[in-house]
Amino acid sequence: MTGAPKSPAPVAAEACTSMTEVRAGVDAIDSALVALLAERMRFMDAAARIKPHRSAVRDEARKAQVITQAATQAAAAGLPAGLVETLWELLVEVSISHELARFDALRGSNTSSQLPGRG
């Protein structure tokens, strides 16, 4: 079998003794995060299919709830203050844009908006 050399199996961060191990761990986590984001977007597809009206897509109360919940979990995990709020603000806005686009596509509408900050 040929190709790029295989990275070593990730070890716990506390057990790392080389940058190769650190990078393998980070790469494994990044791969898992991408898979989770894809799964999250599938739920946005489901929401677009289920919601009866386009105006139901943006729900500011739910957005605030999601961000607060993530921030609370981040604090309990010892993450830096503000990190999750910043990431989740972007994540939720991109999710809303995705859901709006899917809502419009499912109903043949041509009013989908672009991603925030992308033009």
d(CA 85, CA 74): 9
pLDDT tens for residues 25-43? Answer: 999 999 999 999 999 999 9
**Domain annotation covers residue 69:** yes
**Domain annotation covers residue 40:** yes
**Domain annotation covers residue 9:** no
The domain of 84 spans 18-107
Q: What are phi and psi of 38, to 5 degrees?
A: -65, -40
> Are 66 and 104 within 8 A, CB to CB?
no
**Domain annotation covers residue 43:** yes
**Domain annotation covers residue 58:** yes
**Domain annotation covers residue 7:** no
Number of domains in the chain: 1
Q: Which amino acid is at 18?
A: S
Q: Any idea what the CATH number is for the domain that residue 42 is in?
A: 1.20.59.10
**Domain annotation covers residue 4:** no
pLDDT tens for residues 74-111? Answer: 999 999 989 999 999 999 999 999 999 999 999 987 55
